[in-house]
Structures are given as C-alpha cells and as structure tokens.
Amino acid sequence: MSTRPRRTTAAVAAATLIGATAVMAAAAPAAAAPPQHHGPTEVRVATFNLSLNRNAEGDLVRDLSTGSNAQARTVAEIIQHANPDIVLLNEFDYVEGGLAADLFRDNYLEVAQGTGEAVEYPYAFVAPSNTGVPTGFDLNNNGVVGAPGTQAGGDDSFGFGLFPGQYGMVVLSKYPILDDEARTFQHFLWKDMPGALLPDDPTTAAPADWYSPEELDVFRLSSKSHWDVPVDVNGSTVHVLAAHPTPPTFDGPEDRNGTRNHDEIRFWADYVTPGKASRYIRDDEGVTGGLKPGESFVILGDQNADPVDGDSTQHAIDQLLDHPRITDPLPTSAGGPEAALLQGGANLTHVGDPAYDTADFADTAPGNLRADYVLPSRDLKVLDAGVFWPVRADPLSALTGTFPFPSSDHRLVWVDLRVHP
C-alpha cells in the first residue's frame, strides 16, 4: 500500500442498506496532485465503464489485492494513457470504506502498465449502490419474490445485482473533492418525480400500474445512485454529476427499464435547471433542490442511451443533449467507424455516425452505440474531446480488442475543459 497522504471519501447511507478521429496524445508525467495557480485551469474529465464488476461479493477485492489481474491491468493502462484529472468509473463494485478503490489505485494505477505511465489520484469518492439491495417485492411480476444472489433476486432488487453494490461506481480525482458538500440521491423515490414515466401493465385498463402502490412507496429512481460530487479545481468548484442509468432492455412490453432509464437521465436535466423544475428533488440528507444558477458542472456516466439507435425511450438522452445549460462536445474516434464496418450486422442499419460510438455491443442487436457521455455546463470551455478507440493498426488497439474484450465493451470518453477561477 502507498503511504503518501490521500483521502478516500466513503459516503454512508442508511446502515440497513449496506449491512447492508481519436488516437490519444502521449500521457503527461504522473503527479500526486496538479499544480496550483490562479489563472484558468485546463482539466481533462473522463468517464469509463470498465466492466470491473464481479459475480460474487469480495471477488473484486481479491482480484485487486495483487497487481496480477489481467483485466485490471488493461483498464488501468487505458486510464494511464488517457491520463484524466477527474474520472468516473462505472461497473466498479462498491466495497464499504473504499477498499476496492484504494487497491485499484495502489496496485494498478500507481504502477506503470504496459506502455502507460503511473498516475496518482489522491482523492476518491465512493458510496453505496441500489444494485442487489432486496426490496421484498415481486418487481418483475413473475409471481415470485426472487432470492438474493440469484437472477430472479436481482430482478426484484432496487437495481439489478447479485449482491449489494455490484456494478457500483467511483469518482477519482487529482483535485480535492469537497466531500462535506457532496450529495447522494440513492433513496429518492421514483414516484416523487412529477410526471414520472411509471411503467404500465398492458394487460389492464389502469394507467401506470405495473408497480403496486405499496411497491411505489419504496421504489427508488436510481438503479445505482445519483451523486453530486463537488471538486475544487484551483479555487473553482466543478460539480461532478455521476450516475449509471439502467439499460433500457431486459424487460417486457411494459418497458419498465426503458422508462426508468428515461427518468434517471431526466433527473440530471431537472437538477441543473434552477427553480421549479428541480424543486421536487431531495437528497439522502433531506436537502431539497438542485444546482444554483451559474454553478459549473459536468455530467458523467454510462447513460445507456443513444440519440438515434438502440432501445432507449425516444428522446431519453436528448433531455441532456438539448438542454440549454449543457454542451455536447461530441467526442469521436477513428476506431468506432472501423469496428462498425468490419463487424457489420446491426451496425449497417444504424442512423447515427459510428464515430460517436462508445460501446462495442453484439453485432446482431443492438450493434455499437453511443452510451457514455461527458457533458459540461456551458460556462466551461471545451478545448478537445475524444473516445479511446484506436484503429486496429494502432498498437494501443490491443487494450480495447474484440469480443471477448481484454478490458471492457465500453470505451473511455474524455473531454478537455478550461475552468476559470
């Protein structure tokens, strides 16, 4: 373990729950913390669904306890080449106290991997996830309340997972995280969102009745969680808005996952809209409202929604892409179009430009999609952006590979921003 000063923030919710054309530039030399100055600061912000989840509780800690896990080494090398200052990692199992995040930094990120250079993130934020937390209800309406640790039990949890915290997330930063000001929304109820797209049972005449009133009284909007993690960038606060909405699939004609995905995305659209639109929002400490006018933010995460292709509810991601306070930097890669052409299948029927794709999914359906986003507020000037998806001729393509992937079926997405003091 490294002995240099570091802070891992482990936000704890209710105890009952936890018991509960893109070829990357050469990585800059790693530093324990970025230089401090009083002028504008250039910051690279990234999101990466690194698929580092495991199928059993404790397996991730075991795999990260030495520096020998091949997948962890590969995703760490991708991060080292991208060298973001702030990064959200999706599908990184939650471990109480931030142990897994510490092990990943100590044994992988802070050790040069392949052609990468070691990188340090002195600050981390972790918090519980709704995945794998039992509800005690039959949420998929198959007539049985699934047992924890099973596929059926995952379907009947607050968010799909075989154990509490599977598919969680972590924020890593070279800049200080203002943990006392961080907000989590793990417990926010879906029914408390005005005009929520609650799923409808198509076999009945009643509207929005897939879930019973008793289920809606406990059912949470977030399939994992929503976090507002403020970061101090040389005296300026940038709110990192992190989430990982549920995939809009694995359901039936009621579209319970598609509608939830839509509203998980809508949550951030409302949160960054001051006034009435965000007044209904309440965090896990009971504080209401969203961001104030003029506050800087970056929305990060695997949103599981493509603007034109795939299975998400129509206009789901447009709630963010068309928002007046948000810039879409439109990161691209050269590897995405090459993969779509070589793989064919569903990719040949897509409307969207494969240069924007960030995920390499099954070629039969849905094909490759734009699923992962870095969306800054308009006051943050975009300097550059890209998707880490090298073409096959690039030696770095060995890090992304083809199915079965050596790293993840998602690609790291980065955006360079200028933050003014």
pLDDT in single tens digits along all 421 residues of the chain: 233 345 566 654 333 333 233 333 333 334 445 656 678 999 999 999 999 999 999 999 999 999 999 999 999 999 999 999 999 999 999 999 999 999 999 999 999 999 999 999 999 999 999 999 999 999 999 999 999 999 999 999 999 999 999 999 999 999 999 999 999 999 999 999 999 999 999 999 999 999 999 999 999 999 999 999 999 999 999 999 999 999 999 999 999 999 999 999 999 999 999 999 999 999 999 999 999 999 999 999 999 999 999 999 999 999 999 999 999 999 999 999 999 999 999 999 999 999 999 999 999 999 999 999 999 999 999 999 999 999 999 999 999 999 999 999 999 999 999 999 8
| Domains parsed from the chain with CATH numbers | 7-129+164-419 (3.60.10.10)
- Backbone φ and ψ of 239, nearest 5°: -85, 115
Q: Which residues contact 225 (CB under 8 A, 6 or more apart)?
A: 127, 128, 129, 130, 169, 184, 185, 186, 243
d(CA 164, CA 74): 26
* Residue 416 contacts residue 44 (beta carbons within 8 Å): yes
Look-up of token digits 């447009």: 318
Task: Give the Å distances, CA to CA, from 204 to 31, 258, 420.
Answer: 60, 19, 55
Task: Give the Å distances, CA to CA, from 219 to 20, 149, 189.
Answer: 17, 19, 6
Smallest CA-to-CA distance from 222 within 254, 255, 182, 193 is with 193
